[in-house]
């Protein structure tokens, strides 16, 4: 989401270097959206390595200004087709592997949106369908119209709303969960003295102590907790931490191999972030 042109100098934050380092490390999913305004950049970074990438893109958010959250949602069938063609052109690819509706619509029934997305699958322009920012009812209705492969929602130690209704529905339907912001937008990297108000001192302290025991970082422990959700809930879970530097990318990759004990996981599970 935060990859941008203007830093292509071959350094630690060169977006091409970041994506290539991810592919070299065995990461396969590259996730973008038309709303991120970086599809052309993403297309350039994977050029020549397309067969190594599970390319995910999203549509539906139409920005109305520069202020965060200032957007409309377009999910009508005509826009579905228009958005896909535009993304394919900007990305420079013939097919998108996983195509998401970025946000639920209050005006267009989700069956209509998914029906149009399913036509893209039939036409060979999209391989699988996903949803983001939806309700459990949306997911169930959409899945009845066409199989939904993935549900992308925020999930971290400081944002666990997904566990109430969406997660059980995804598990029942066999839908993979793609967890964005698994480090709480960077909050879970911080020490108790600098922690965000959403992070209790107890949670931050626990992360620090577990990190010390494993000779790793708070952020890596928090990310490892999300990786362990697959075992806890019986559903495929793919965290996608936002990464703009090669160094940070390598830290994130290492977190996938961090095995937390039952007691450590239980300690983190029972610590709830303040609202």
Catalytic residues: 36
Residue closest to 148 by CA, chosen among 113, 108, 124, 109: 113
CA distance 34 to 99: 11
Q: How far is CA 82 from CA 115, 122, 257, in A?
A: 15, 16, 41
CA distance 60 to 80: 8
CA distance 224 to 198: 19
Question: Residue 238: what are its φ and ψ, rounded to 5°?
Answer: -120, 105
Three-state secondary structure call for residue 62: strand
Structure tokens at 242: 């936002």
Residue closest to 223 by CA, chosen among 249, 245, 205: 249
CA distance 150 to 207: 29
Q: How far is CA 202 from CA 139, 213, 229, 250, 274, in A?
A: 34, 16, 21, 27, 11
CA distance 233 to 218: 23
């Amino acid at each position: 989401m935060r990859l941008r042109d203007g830093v292509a100098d071959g350094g630690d934050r060169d977006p091409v270097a970041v994506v290539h380092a991810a592919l070299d490390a065995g990461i396969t999913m590259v996730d973008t959206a038309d709303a991120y305004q970086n599809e052309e950049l993403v297309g350039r970074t994977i050029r020549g390595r397309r067969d190594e990438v599970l390319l995910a893109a999203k549509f539906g958010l139409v920005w109305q200004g520069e202020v965060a959250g200032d957007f409309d949602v377009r999910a009508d069938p005509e826009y579905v087709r228009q958005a896909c063609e535009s993304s394919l052109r900007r990305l420079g690819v013939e097919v998108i592997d996983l195509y998401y509706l970025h946000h639920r619509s209050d005006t267009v029934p989700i069956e209509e949106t998914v029906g149009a997305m399913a036509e893209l699958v039939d036409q060979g322009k999209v391989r699988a369908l996903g949803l983001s920012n939806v309700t459990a009812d949306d997911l169930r209705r959409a899945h009845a119209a066409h199989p939904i492969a993935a549900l992308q929602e925020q999930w971290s130690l400081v944002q666990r709303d997904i566990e109430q209704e969406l997660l059980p529905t995804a598990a029942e339907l066999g839908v993979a969960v793609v967890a964005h912001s698994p480090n709480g937008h960077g909050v879970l990297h911080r020490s108790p003295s600098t922690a965000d108000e959403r992070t209790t001192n107890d949670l931050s302290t626990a992360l620090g102590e577990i990190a010390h025991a494993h000779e790793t970082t708070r952020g890596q422990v928090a990310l490892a907790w999300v990786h362990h959700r697959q075992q806890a809930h019986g559903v495929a879970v793919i965290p996608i931490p936002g990464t703009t530097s090669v160094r940070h990318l390598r830290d994130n990759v290492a977190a996938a191999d961090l095995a937390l004990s039952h007691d450590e996981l239980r300690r983190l599970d029972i610590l709830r972030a303040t609202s």
